[in-house]
Structure 1
Amino acid sequence: MEESFLILKEIYEVEDDLYKERMEFLDSVLELNKFISSPVRTLSLGQRMRADLAAALLHNPKVLYLDEPTIGLDIIAKANIREAIKGINAKYKTTVILTTHDLDDIENLCERMIMIDNGKKIYDGEIKAIKEKYGEIKKIKIDVKNIDEFEKLDFRKEFNLEKEDLKLNIEKNSLIIEFNRKKSSVSDIISYILKKIDVLDINIFETEIEEIIRKIYKNEVEMN
């Protein structure tokens, strides 16, 4: 496989010093030396993905198009590919445009997202913006020693929340609170909890992009 990179070097007319520099960098983010001397037919899917990515970047393109770059890969291989893409973007300022159905790719790699439905563009903007606009449900997990403590809490009365604006679920010694952040703030909810009960731990979760996109495609939110 090493010969393939040398052929690409000549095709793209990459100078010797630049070729060496880029191959060293690509090896650092893609670990090419672990398999670069192996025949292509012996490579795993993850290794072939990394080799293809390195080949596409050898001549330092300004724009890189990736189609489902992590499809079929295991968790570790996906993480390695994502870290490599981020490293390449940071090192060479390469603009990366990817198409994917893996929402973890979007969460981990993208600043801007374009959504298409039936050939029509329905969203074009920042990931942060779509979460802020359509991710109205916040989740808080409260851990306590004694679940009887939860009886002291009455969120609906305290914050005047309707049934659809609040969901409570007890799991062992934890209370999962899902609420509409447009009706009450995280700080108010946490402040109320700390005044009422003894807490071991608190975890705050952002609305997952998967849930937002599901709602958009099911027309559960109004796009404008």
Structure 2
Amino acid sequence: MKAIQVAGLSKSFAIKQKEKGLGGSIRSLIKPRFSEKAAVYGIDLTVEEGETLAFLGPNGAGKSTTIKMLTGILHPSGGTAEVLGLCPWRERSRLAYHIGSVFGQKSQLWYHLPPIDSFELMSRIYELKRADYKNRRDDLVRRFELEPYLHTPVRKLSLGERMRCEIAAAMLHRPKIVFLDEPTIGLDVIVKQKIRELILEMNREEGTTIFLTSHDAGDIEQLCKRAIVINHGQVILDDNVDRMKRELLTEKTIHLKLQEAGIPFAFPGVELLSQGALEIKLSVDTMAASMEQVLSHIVAKYRVVDVTIEDPPMEQIITHIYARESGYGRNADGGEAG
């Protein structure tokens, strides 16, 4: 069975029109005029059980609207969708027992309560058997290393500590699909890596289907095998992540902090963006030079205090994809290809 199957899914919103001047303001209050804005337009997609999918796009592309329809929060304007064989907006209560969600900027944990109390409340909401709940809770506490935070109010946890608790809470009822919306936003590198490892572990050991949105290219590289890109509410790319890595994720930025001033940097396939007395910024073309080669050269030539490696911004990747896809099917002179 397909985990998710979508055909022609669309969603439009009525937007109130603003009128100029005092008379227009009065008219808009008495008899407001509305126009329709399409947020999602005719999306088709399928997701297999146990698949790890990145659902990408710039802000305003329709990602959140699509997720809200797939979880039953919004009714579509047109099209069909099945999640685990259920229609999300008609069978939302049944579906809720089989899916989980984690939103990086919104908490499902009670703010003034410790996580252990939120887990307890959620076990009642999902009608978990007592013994099953305790075994599952203890397993998640061990895997996510939550013991030090269980009895601390959520408001006093760091963002990284809270996100680990959020993901554990979403996994408490053993969902078959987990929707992750920016799960690593605002986290430092070490905490990001830990959360990615935990998500992969749940996918590998329990076959959990992962549906991820993120602006962090590292999330996509490490967590997902396939990516769907949407823009202006339409799918513009459906491809495997390995191919995307070869064609699009070929640039990385390295920031170096040095213990002492070093020689001017030079290495094939690396562009020197800036070099100060104790700082160097580099752009690496990974098709021309491997990161291992570049880092080995850095360690051999400089006394490094700190090093940071960054992926290109997701907006840059999306722009590249959109430009490339728009150019398909056309000749160099702009005419249609035969």
Provide TM-score, normalisation by structure 2: 0.44
Distance across 1 between alignment mates of 2:222 and 2:130: 34
Q: How many angstroms does 1:121 deviate by?
A: 0.8
1:68 has 2:182 as partner: yes
Q: How many angstroms does 1:176 deviate by?
A: 3.1
The residue identity in structure 2 corresponding to 1:217 is: Y
Aligned-residue sequence identity (percent) comes to: 40
Name the residue aligned to 2:221. 107
The residue identity in structure 1 corresponding to 2:229 is: M
SS for the counterpart of 1:101 is: coil
| 8 Å contact kept, 1:131–1:212 | no
SS for the counterpart of 2:199 is: helix
| 8 Å contact kept, 2:178–2:209 | yes
Distance across 1 between alignment mates of 2:160 and 2:250: 36
2:322 to 213, 217, 224: 217
**Aligned Cα root-mean-square deviation (Å):** 3.3
Q: How many residues align?
A: 171
SS for the counterpart of 2:134 is: helix
Name the residue aligned to 2:195. 81
Q: 1:84 to 1:136 in 2, by over 3 A?
A: closer
| 8 Å contact kept, 1:22–1:58 | yes
Name the residue aligned to 1:10. 124
Unmatched segments (≥5 aa) in structure 1: 140-169, 187-200
1:1-224 to 2 correspondence within 5 Å? 1=114, 2-132=116-246, 134=247, 171-172=265-266, 174-176=267-269, 213-219=318-324, 222-223=327-328
Per-residue CA deviations over 1:150-171 (Å, capped at 9, x if unaligned) read xxxxxxxxxxxxxxxxxxxx94
Distance across 1 between alignment mates of 2:212 and 2:191: 17
The residue identity in structure 1 corresponding to 2:230 is: I
| 8 Å contact kept, 1:215–1:221 | no
| 8 Å contact kept, 1:122–1:223 | no
Which has more helix, going by share of residues? Answer: 1
| 8 Å contact kept, 2:249–2:317 | no
Q: How many angstroms does 1:105 deviate by?
A: 0.5
